[in-house]
A and B are shown apart, each in its own frame.
Chain A
Amino acid sequence: MSTTIRFPILDRLLFASPGPPGEVPNEVRRRGSSSACPSPSHINTISKTPSVCCADTSPGGPGEASLSTRTPPPAVYSPRSTLDARPEHSADSPVSIHAMTVAYARKPVLWDVDYDAPSNALIAIVGPNGAGKSTMIKACLGLIPRAAGTVEFWGQSYKQARSRIGYVPQRESVDWDFPVSALDVVCMGRYRKIGWCRPVTKFHKLAAMEALERVGMADFAKRQISQLSGGQQQRVFLARALTQEADLYFMDEPFAGVDAATERAIIDVLRELRTNGKTVIVVHHDLQTVPEYFDHVLLLNMRIVASGPVGEVFTADNLQKTYGGRLTLLAEAAEAVARAAKGN
C-alpha cells in the first residue's frame, strides 16, 4: 500500500521528465551566450547557482592551452532532438547531461545533474565513496535507467551516437577467471564493427593487437586473463576501449590499484587520445594527480558541486564542499525517500 504514496515535490524532483522549454526557470536560461555571463560563470558551485549547474560549454578548446582564450559558444545551434530549446547546452559538447536523476530501488544516488563536457579534454570525475561517480557514467551509457533527465552526445541520442562512445568499466566488474585470452577481450571492443553472428576476422585481431601494443601489452596477448596482474588487466580493458576507435571515452577508475608502469601507460594513452581530438571522462580517486593528469574536473557528491577547468575549480574550498560532509542532509533525504518508497 505504501508504494502508492506520492510525494509531489520529491517525485517531480526525482522522477519527472524535464518539462517543456516554456517552463524552464530563468536561471537555467541565463546562458544564452557567454558574453552574458560574468567571466567565472562557467564555473558553478552549489552556493552560487543552486538550481542548475551548467559547466563550461565552449567547443573544441585543445586542452589546457586554450583555457584562457576560450571561444564563445556558436550562436547557431545544430538541430537537437530534445535539448535544442535549451541554450545552456551546446550541440558541440561530446556529452550534455540535463537534469539527470538516478535512483537505485527508489533511493536517489544522483540528484539533478546538469553538465556539458568540453570536447577534446581529459575530464576527471572526483568525489567521495558513494558520490555516484560510476552511477553517472553508467546512467549516461544507459546501463542503468535514469529516473529523470536527458543525455545527449554531440546533440544526438545515445543510440545514434554509440559507435562513437567507448567505455572502460571497473576492473572488479568481471570474472577474471573467464576462459579468454587478453586478445579475446580486446577483440570484444570491435564486436559492434564486426556485427552480429560474424566471426572475429584477422583484420579485427590485427586491430586488437595494435591496441594491445599501444598499452604495452602485446607480449601478453595469448595469456589467459587471470594470469595477468591487476595493472595488466586494466591495460587490457583500456586496449579494448581503444580498439573501439571512439571519440568519447568513459573510464571507471582506470587508475585504481595499478602499478606505476600501468599508471604511466594509461596517462600516456589518455594524452595521446587528447592529441587526437578525443574526449575522455575518467572517474578518478587520487586527488593528488588531478592537476597533473586532467584539464577539467567535475566534483561530485550526489550532485555536481563544481565543474570546470582544473586550475579554477580544483580549489580547497570546493574540495571541502565535496568531501566536507555538508551534503549529509542530502544523503539522509535520499535514505528517507527510499524508505518511504519501500514502505518501511
Chain B
Amino acid sequence: MIPELIQTFLTLDLFPLLGAIFASLSCGLLGNFLVLRKQSLMGDAISHAVLPGLVLAFLITQDRSPIHMFIGAAVSALVTVILVEVIKRLGKVEPGAAMGVVFSVLFALGVFLLENANARGVDLDANCVLHGNLQILFWTTSPTEWSHFLSENIRSEVPRQIWTLLATTIAVIIFITVFFKELRIASFDAGIATVQGINAGVMHMALMTFVAIAAVASFEAVGSILVIAMLICPAATARLLTDRLITQILVSAIIALLTAIGGYALASWMGVNAAGMMASTAGAILVVVMIGSPSHGVIAKARNQRKLGNLVALEDILGALYRLAETEEHTTREQLIATLGSSKRTHKAIDRALTHKLIKVVNTQLQLTQTGLAQGAGIIRKHRQWEGYLVEQVGISPDHVHETAEQLEHLIDPDLPNQHTDPHGKPIPPKNS
C-alpha cells in the first residue's frame, strides 16, 4: 500500500518533475558550449523561432501528432541557424544582432499564425508557448500498490513528453561524452581544430542541431522561458565555480538538477507556474554564486583587494622605515602615520608589523627588527630597480618615476641583475640582504 502523500505526489508531481529535470539537464549540459562560444543567444533564438514551425506544421497537417510538431520545429530551428549566418554576412551586423532580428521576427510570425489559427477554433495556446504545460502531465492512473511498478503496462502510462525528454537527455549526454574532446577544441580554437583534422564548422552545426533538438523536445513541456534560462544559467553559474571544462559540465548538471527540483518545489508551495519558478530559481542561483563564488565571486574579489591593500600598507611602512634606517633616522608612530597618510589601514598595518615582530618600539621610536630590515630592503630593492628600469629602458625622466615605481613595487619583482644605484643615486640593496 502506498501512503496517500506519496500517491498524491505520484499523481500530480512525478511526471511534471521528471519532465522538468530532463529538460533542464539536456539544455543545461548543451548550454556549456553555447556560453563558452559566446553564443548563448542562439538558444534563445532557436527556442523562440521554433514557434512558427510548430504552428505551420499544425496548419498543414491539421493534427497535433508529436512527429509533425517535431519536424516543424526542427525545420524552423535549422532555418534560424542559417538565417542568422546569412544576416550576419550580408547585413554586416554582429552575431547578437543577427540572432535578435531572426528570432524576434520568427517568433512574431509564430504568434501571428497562432492567432489566426485560434480564430479558426484551434486549441493552440500562446501562453503555453512561454511556460509550457507541465501541470497537464499528471498520472491519472497512478498505482496504489508498490508492486504495480513492476507490472508491464506501467510503461504505456508514462506520457510521451517524458519519453521524448528522456531520450533527448540520454542523446545529449552521449553526444557530449563521446565528442567532449572535439567540442572542446572546436570551441576553444577553431583554427587548431581544423589543423588537427576536426572540422570546427561541422562540430558547430552538430552542436546547433542538438540545441535545436533539446529546445524542441523541452519546448512543449516547459515552454521557451525555461529553455532559455537553462541554456544559459547553469553553464554561466558553473563557470564561476571552476576553471576546468569537465568540472564545469558536471557542476552545471548538478545546478540544473537543483534548479528543476528546487524550482518545482517552490512553485508547488507557492502555487505558481512551475516553469516560470524554475527559471527564476536558475537566475537566483546565478546571482548567489556571482556574489559568493570562492574564486570569481564579488566577495572573494573584494577580499583579495582588501588583502592586497593590507599588504601594500605593510610594505609601505617597512619601506619608509628602511629609508629612514639608511640615514640612521628614526620616527615615532605618529610621525610615520602623518607621512604615510592617516588611515585605519595604516594603523592596523603598524599593529600587525608589531605583532609579527617586523618592527619594534625603542624609546617611542619605531625601528625595524632584523626580519623587518630584510623585508624592507627587498621592497626598496624592487622600488629602486623599477625606477632604474623606467628611466633607462623606458626613457621616463627621473623625477616622474617615483609614483609608478611606488605601485609596481608591490605587484611585480623586476629582478634586474647588476644594478647598484637607482637614477637618483641611491644604493639598491643587494638581493636577499
Q: How far is the CA of A195 from the CA of B247 in the complex (A)?
A: 23
| B182 closest partner in A (C-beta) | A196
> What chain B residues lie within 8 Å of A50 (beta carbons)?
none
Contact A200/B181 with A180-B245, A224-B243 known, Cβ cut-off 8 Å: yes
A-B contact count (CB 8 A): 80
Q: How large is the interface on A (under 10, 10 to 19, 20 to 34, 35 or more residues)?
A: 20 to 34
* Bound Cα distance A189, B193 (Å): 9
Residue of B nearest to A170 (CB): B191
Q: Whose C-beta in chain B lies nearest to the C-beta of A193?
A: B196
B247 CB contacts on chain A under 8 angstroms: 179
Q: Does B197 contact A (CB under 8 A)?
A: yes
Q: Which residues of B contact A235 (CB under 8 A)?
A: none
A174 touches B189 (CB 8 A): yes
- A10 interface hit (Cβ, 8 Å): no
Given contacts A179-B36, A180-B244, contact A192 B196 (CB under 8 A): yes
A41 within 8 A of B: no
Distance in Å from the Cβ of B20 to the closest Cβ of chain A? 27
Q: A180-B245, A196-B182 are in contact. Are A143 and B194 (CB under 8 A)?
A: yes
Contact A174 B188 (CB under 8 A): yes
- Chain B residue with minimal CB distance to A191? B196
- A46 within 8 A of partner (CB): no
Contacts of B248 in A (CB 8 A): 179
Instruction: A174 to B178: give the CA distance in the assembly, Å.
Output: 24
Main SS at interface, chain A? mixed
Query: How far is it, in angstroms, between the C-alpha of A162 and the C-alpha of B192 when the chains are bound?
Result: 12
Tell me the complex Cα distance, A8–B220, Å. 56
Chain B residues, CB < 8 A from A224: 243-244
| Interface contact B243-A192, CB-CB below 8 Å | no
- B contact residues around A181 at 8 Å (CB): 243-244
Contact with B along A174-188 (1 / 0, CB 8 A): 110011110011001
Within 8 Å CB of A179, what residues of B? 36, 239, 242-245, 247-248
Q: How far does the alpha carbon of A200 sit from the alpha carbon of B182 in the complex, in Å? A: 11
The interface bits of chain A over 135-169 (1 if a CB of B lies within 8 angstroms of the residue's CB, else 0) are: 00010011100000000000000000010011101
Of B36, B179, B192, the residue contacting A169 (CB under 8 A) is B192
Q: Distance (Å) between the CB of B87 and the closest chain A CB?
A: 16
Q: Which residues of A contact B191 (CB under 8 A)?
A: 138, 141, 143, 167, 169, 173
A245 CB to closest chain B CB, in angstroms? 13
- Whose C-beta in chain B lies nearest to the C-beta of A166? B195
CB neighbours of B189 from chain A (8 A): 169, 173-174, 188
Cβ proximity bits A113-152 to B, threshold 8 Å, 1 near / 0 not? 0000000000000000000000000100111000000000
Complex contact A197–B178 (CB within 8 A)? yes
**CB-defined contacts of A240 to chain B, threshold 8 Å:** 192
Chain B: CB-nearest residue to A188: B185
22 example contacts (A-B, Cβ-Cβ < 8 A) are as follows A141-B191, A141-B194, A167-B191, A169-B191, A174-B188, A175-B38, A178-B187, A178-B188, A179-B239, A179-B243, A179-B247, A180-B188, A180-B244, A181-B244, A184-B245, A185-B188, A188-B184, A188-B185, A192-B197, A196-B198, A197-B179, A198-B181
Q: Give chain B's interface residues, CB within 8 Å of chain A.
A: 36, 38, 178-182, 184-185, 187-189, 191-198, 239, 242-245, 247-248
Since A165-B195, A184-B244, A188-B189 are in contact, a sample of 5 more A-B pairs with Cβ atoms closer than 8 Å, ordered by chain A residue number, is A166-B195, A184-B245, A191-B181, A192-B196, A197-B182
**10 nearest A-B residue pairs (beta carbon):** A224-B243, A191-B196, A192-B196, A179-B245, A167-B195, A174-B189, A169-B191, A178-B188, A197-B178, A192-B197
